[in-house]
Structure 1
Amino acid sequence: MNSTFSIILPAKNEAVNLPPLLARLRERFPVAEIMVVDDGSTDTTAQIAQDHGARVVRHPYSMGNGAAIKTGARHATGDVLVFMDADGQHDPADIERLLAKMAEGYEMVVGARQADTHASFGRRLANHSYNRLASWMTGYHIEDLTSGFRAARARHFRKFIYLLPNGFSYPTTSTMAFFRSGFPVAYVPIRAGQRGGKSHIRLLRDGTKFFLIILKVGALFSPMRFFLPLSLVFLLIGMGYYGYTYLTMHRFTNMSAVLLIYSLSLFLIGLISEQISALHYKGVEDDQRRTRRD
């Protein structure tokens, strides 16, 4: 690619893992901007990053992985942003594969972890469930919704910064935002190594958060795909209950009325949400025209 690129590593207490990773990155990409966003570390993460020639941006306290990603995106100077974890599980050699795929015309390329590289069966099962649910909500096949290893066009990514949460779910939101905007997204299979140290993600706690975030972003991405099935469920229940009460009591009950009104309310909420969702992507058409010219 002719574009410049920045490698952004959100890091919290990664003093042990950073030295070998930064050395490999600098050796392979000597002219690339390498940025470490220190998310309120209590160890020597920032000093080690500086000693290895990385550009360091620090948070005064821990604000979350997503907040570190947003800080990196705001400060980076490259035309393409490459995000990867600082714990050593991503292979720097795969960056070239992401960039090569982007050169084919994609605006975001995600490193999709192979199933057998997840740390445990529970994580594999959870990730598969997230992918299936997100694929249904977006109408696109999503191979790895939660992968933090990805490359994206900077000018597009920054348009969606305000949508990104401060927690661990920035990959979910950014992927769906690119799909919703009509920007082409591709996946490159990768093998994730064993991370060094202890993971900051807890399967049960953060898994529940991921599930709720998928529902929220799904409602933002395609509200009618989310609200219409719920509306139909309550419509069928209401009509079924009305049929039962009419046959047994020969009357229309208050419960039937509540169910039918609730069904109508969900449908109208979906319509309104569809209009609100479109406002989040206002101006994206200009980017798409600029992309075609480039």
Structure 2
Amino acid sequence: MEAEVAVIIPAYNEEKRIVRTLTTLKEINPLYKIYVVDDGSTDATAEKVAKVKDLCLIKSMKNKGKGQALKTGIKAALASSDIIVFLDADLQESAGEVEKLIKPIVDNEADVTVAKFPPAKKKGGFGLVKKLARYGVYINTGKKLDTVLSGQRAFKKKVLENLTFNYEGYGVELGMTIDLLNKGYLIKEVEVNMFHNETGRDLQGFLHRGKQFFQILKVFLKKTK
């Protein structure tokens, strides 16, 4: 029997990119169950998603952060799915690479897969956020992973049934990764040709990375007490 795959997409103000992400997913496999959790968007994200057929749109009136959006999506998808995938809303055409994350799960080569992106095309920050996340995983688990912060992941159902999401915003990937490794689950990093909206070395980019760093640091400190 073919595995039932659910894709959960947390979305916040992604009106420019999310429709292409969704249509790409539906083109590669129309059997995927797609759950979009609109996290209190102030643009037309929800309205545009609502026009796409055969998916589930879950709307939040307030922005509660990525961790809560994923938790909402899991609650909706878990009962009827064998494999659950997290994807970002801004992948556009590169969302088709999702099958590379699903195959090792189907083949029982891993409990969880994490997408490893190609190098960024433009200069972003100075690597502090990524270094903090990698160190956070190593100091709490003794394991080394290159791709700690990737939001593109696939899970066996049993993994998510045994995982608690108590992390806010951008700290969710770090907290989740530490918990998964400490529970003994096998994580496989998978190289993909995905891309997403990159932040540069402008004020907006530094503010974004500053918010990331703060939220990841909160999880780091919580885990290393």
Length-normalised TM-score, structure 1: 0.67
Matched, 1:104 2:105: no
| CA positional deviation for 1:110 | 0.5
Report the 3-state secondary structure (helix = DSSP H, G, I; strand = E; otherwise coil) of the residue aligned with 1:93.
helix
Any idea what the Cα deviations from partners look like across 1:162-202, whole Å, max 9, x if unmatched? Answer: x4313122111111111111111111123442418987971
Rounded Cα–Cα distance in structure 1 between residues aligned with 2:122 and 2:93: 13
Root-mean-square deviation (CA, aligned residues, Å) is 2.5
Alignment of 1:56-67 (within 5 A): 56-67=57-68
User: Does the CA contact (< 8 Å) of 1:88 and 1:193 recur in 2?
Assistant: yes
1:237 alignment partner in structure 2: none
1:202 alignment partner in structure 2: 208
Count of equivalent residues = 217
2:86 alignment partner in structure 1: 83
User: Does the CA contact (< 8 Å) of 1:73 and 1:154 recur in 2?
Assistant: no
Corresponding letter in the other structure for 1:214: F
From the superposition, tell whether residues 217 and 3 of structure 1 become closer, same or farther in structure 2 (CA, over 3 Å). Answer: farther
| CA positional deviation for 1:125 | 4.3
| CA positional deviation for 1:106 | 1.2
Corresponding letter in the other structure for 2:40: G
| CA positional deviation for 1:121 | 4.5
Higher helix share: 1
Corresponding letter in the other structure for 1:109: T
Rounded Cα–Cα distance in structure 2 between residues aligned with 1:52 and 1:187: 31
Any idea what the Cα deviations from partners look like across 1:212-236, whole Å, max 9, x if unmatched? Answer: 31232244xxxxxxxxxxxxxxxxx
2:181 alignment partner in structure 1: 179
1:68 alignment partner in structure 2: 69
Rounded Cα–Cα distance in structure 2 between residues aligned with 1:178 and 1:90: 29
Report the 3-state secondary structure (helix = DSSP H, G, I; strand = E; otherwise coil) of the residue aligned with 2:162.
helix
| CA positional deviation for 1:73 | 0.6
Rounded Cα–Cα distance in structure 1 between residues aligned with 2:183 and 2:29: 31
Any idea what the Cα deviations from partners look like across 1:122-167, whole Å, max 9, x if unmatched? Answer: 2534313421342232111212111100001223213323x43131
1:242 alignment partner in structure 2: none
Greater C-alpha Rg: 1
User: Does the CA contact (< 8 Å) of 1:87 and 1:196 recur in 2?
Assistant: no
Length-normalised TM-score, structure 2: 0.85
From the superposition, tell whether residues 196 and 34 of structure 1 become closer, same or farther in structure 2 (CA, over 3 Å). Answer: farther
Report the 3-state secondary structure (helix = DSSP H, G, I; strand = E; otherwise coil) of the residue aligned with 1:82.
strand
From the superposition, tell whether residues 200 and 80 of structure 1 become closer, same or farther in structure 2 (CA, over 3 Å). Answer: farther
Corresponding letter in the other structure for 1:69: L
2:117 alignment partner in structure 1: 113
Unaligned stretches of 5+ residues in structure 1: 220-294
User: Does the CA contact (< 8 Å) of 1:8 and 1:84 recur in 2?
Assistant: yes
1:12 alignment partner in structure 2: 12
Match of 1:127 among 127, 130, 133: 130
Any idea what the Cα deviations from partners look like across 1:107-127, whole Å, max 9, x if unmatched? Answer: 11111234x227535253431
Report the 3-state secondary structure (helix = DSSP H, G, I; strand = E; otherwise coil) of the residue aligned with 1:137.
helix
Alignment of 1:1-294 (within 5 A): 2-53=2-53, 54-76=55-77, 77-88=80-91, 91-102=94-105, 103-114=107-118, 116-117=119-120, 120-122=123-125, 124-161=127-164, 163-195=165-197, 202-219=208-225
